[in-house]
Structure 1
Amino acid sequence: MNKVVLSSLGAGAAAGVGLAAWGYNQLNNFQLKQHELPLLPPGTLRGKQEFRLLHVSDLHMIPGQEEKIAWVSALDSLSPDLVVNTGDNLSDKRAVPDALRALGPLLNRPGMMVFGTNDYWEPRMPNLAKYLFKRKRAPSYVELPWKDLRAACVERGWYDATHKRLEFQVGPVRIAAAGVDDPHHDFDDYDLIAGAPNEDADLTIGLLHAPEPRVLDRFAADGYQLALAGHTHGGQLCLPGGKAIVTNSGIDRGRAQGLHEHKGMKLHVSNGLGTSKFAPARLWCPPSATLLRITERADA
């Protein structure tokens, strides 16, 4: 093997190591995204400027992630009117106390949540070939203490929206919401929540962990204004510009993260705040939470 080939191999290996190190360092490059959504009927806010909805997802907590705990808990300073958590909070059997430390101040605010399969079961070492070719992997079936997390959140006042239709009011805003269990492993049963939301609601929200189009289609057909999901990590290992390579779901790559339309309904897909402990890297896809500033429509 000549010196040119050896030099090229060495340069490639060094670039790979550098990229992996950068991807690991991105795990704590937390960012806040913001979008304005004019969804409320005129006069709903009674002079208030906006209704603040904080969307968090995919914490994938493991013990010792102090920077993540501090950043997530500091989101309370945004004074959200409503917090929505779309699942995969855990990534370790010992993670519940740290997940509750991260969410702690936010649990004092109105909130609702659904769960993902990585709340239910421990993550497994990923199979890169299956991931890249969109082949679904079986879960580990090693149970995580998600029921403890749920109990603590419900005790503090949050709603578990899993296969439930909810109606409640936050300030002047009347909310109708519904959620399903994780569609990624076909745990969803939309028939349990089917039907149009209360027509007297000011804001209607559908919750699901994985943004599977077959479930989104039904939320849209029932007339929900907004659907919130996570799961994709925004692609996690992306091309420059945040372009997802795969979504690990049925959603197309162009909607792996951010705010989009789905058959007349607004859809927000969070790129999440964590990763599996077996895949601790992000490329061109930093972890984030999103503040949705929901304003009144300019109806004629």
Structure 2
Amino acid sequence: MHHAIRPVAATLAVGGACFGWGLVEATAYTVRRVELPVLPAGGRELRILHVSDVHLMTYQRRKLAFLRSLADLEPDLVLNTGDNIAQSEAIEPLVTAWAGLLGVPGAFVFGSNDYFRPQFRNPVRYLLEGRSHGSGAPKSPTLPWEQLRDRFAGRGWVDLTHRRTTLEVAGYRLAFRGVDDAHLGRDDYATVAGPADPTADLNIAVTHAPYLRLLDAMTADGMDLIVAGHTHGGQVCVPGYGALITNCDLDTGRVKGLSSHRAGGRTAHLHVSAGVGTSPFAPYRFACRPEVTLLTLVPVSP
């Protein structure tokens, strides 16, 4: 009997230790730094802060301190790919924490947890559906997303939801297009589709969830850079192997960080943020630290 109990006890001990570390790692906030040679030769660098999946709750003081510190990075541009809040009361603390960033040129799209409060999901079901093709709206209470949108837009950030626009940033002309959340099936790329702007120094597409239907269309249209979030980097990864799921139809090899995407005879740079937060119902990360990315764009070699 004792011989049968020992393996079970050992398994429970290892599982408990991993879960405990996952709770710790979920607050090990990190700034990932990436350099990308994509700007016209002879120009200066352009520093883009890519923030995603904050999932803020008001009691998360350490996370709020990290968000406040991001202004010290002095980015030229902020790109926010959604899932900012997990409760209505978090809007004011979030806006206050980002006071230093909201004065910087920025653009945003929303994700499901800007529209709806998070809800409990069975972890086994989550794993089985981890390569889903998107779904309809969840049956959970709505969040005051209009208020969040207005607070961002009121400070100068551009809402890219089904919109194309151009911004002058640090001496560069940047053309943007964005869509609503593909994971909820709210994306309608046709509203912003079309050839890239040939007069822009860079064409950038912004989406919350990096579904292949969007990546294919954006790349075929000639986007230079596509930015997305949603995946949480897999959230629970296996050391030496990587992510098990992406929570969309993107392959796990591109679940976070910089990669490329090819479609329509063209290639785009793709950056997927692993995000800052988690659902309050799954407040852990393993081998996948919460992060923002300081993406430094530099001129291509002559």
Q: Which TM-score band applies after superposition, normalised by the shorter structure? A: over 0.9
Q: Is the 8 A contact 1:204 1:224 kept in 2?
A: yes
Q: Does 1:132 align with 2:135?
A: no
Cα shift readout 1:211-262 (whole Å, capped 9, x = no counterpart): 0011011110110100000000000011114700011001001011110000
Find the aligned partners of 2:73 and 2:241 in 1 and give their Cα distance: 26
Among 283, 288, 296, the alignment partner of 1:285 is: 288
**For 2:294 and 2:261, how far apart are their aligned partners in 1?**
20
Q: CA contact under 8 A between 2:119 and 2:140: conserved in structure 1?
A: no
How far did residue 5 of structure 1 move?
A: 1.2
Query: In structure 2, the residue corresponding to 1:55 is in which secondary structure?
Result: strand
Are positions 1:165 and 2:164 aligned together? yes
Report the alpha carbon displacement of residue 101 of structure 1 after superposing the two structures with TM: 2.6
User: Structure 1, unaligned stretches of length 5 or more?
Assistant: none
Q: What is the DSSP-based 3-state SS (H/G/I as helix, E as strand, rest coil) of the residue aligned with 1:91?
A: coil
The equivalent residue for 2:30 is: 31
Superposed CA deviations along residues 157-203 of structure 1, whole A, max 9, x for unmatched, are 00000100011101211000000001112110011001123211111
Match of 2:180 in 1: 181
* Residues 56 and 85 in structure 1, CA contact (< 8 A), matched pair in contact too: yes
Deviation of the 1:207 alpha carbon = 0.3
Normalising by structure 2, we get a TM-score of: 0.94
Q: Give the Cα separation in 1 of the matches to 2:109 and 2:294.
A: 18
More deviation, 177-186/132-141: 132-141
Which secondary structure state, in structure 1, belongs to the residue aligned with residue 243 of structure 2? coil
Distance 1:109 1:265 in 2: 26
Give the equivalent residue in structure 1 for 2:211: 212
Q: Which amino acid aligns with 2:291?
A: S
Contact 1:210–1:230, Cα closer than 8 Å, also in 2: yes
Does residue 294 of structure 1 match 2:302?
no
Distance 1:26 1:132 in 2: 20
Which position in structure 2 is the counterpart of 1:92?
87
Q: Structure 2 stretches of 5 or more lacking a match?
A: none
Q: Secondary structure at the match of 1:290?
A: strand
8 Å Cα contact 1:175-1:201 kept in structure 2: yes
Which amino acid is the alignment partner of residue 92 of structure 2? P
1:131-173 residue CA offsets vs partner (Å, 9 max, x unmatched): 1112567613410112111111101000000100011101211
Residue identity in the other structure for 1:27: A
The aligned counterpart of 1:78 is: 73
Instruction: Return the alpha-carbon distance in structure 2 between the equivalents of residues 241 and 79 of structure 1.
Output: 34
Amino acid at match of 1:103: W
Counterpart pick for 1:103 among 95, 98, 123:
98
Shift of 1:267: 0.2
Matching residue of 1:261:
260
Percent sequence identity is: 43
1:227 aligned partner? 226
Corresponding position of 1:190: 189
Match of 1:120 in 2: 115
Once the two structures are TM-superposed, the CA of residue 57 in structure 1 deviates from its matched residue by 0.1
Alignment partner of 1:60 is 2:59? no
Give, in whole Å, the separation in 2 of the partners of 1:253 and 1:236.
12
The match for 2:242 is: 243
Question: Quick check: 1:15 aligned with 2:18?
Answer: no
Alpha-carbon RMSD across the aligned residues, in angstroms, is: 1.3
Aligned residues: 294
The amino acid of 1:222's aligned partner reads D
Q: Are the aligned partners of 1:55 and 1:290 in contact in 2 as well (CA < 8 Å)?
A: yes
Match of 1:202 in 2: 201
The 10-residue stretch of structure 1 (121-130 or 256-265) with the greater mean CA deviation from structure 2: 121-130
CA distance in 2, matches of 1:193, 1:276: 31
Distance 1:57 1:92 in 2: 16
CA distance in 1, matches of 2:88, 2:296: 35
* Contact kept? 1:32, 1:291, Cα under 8 Å: yes
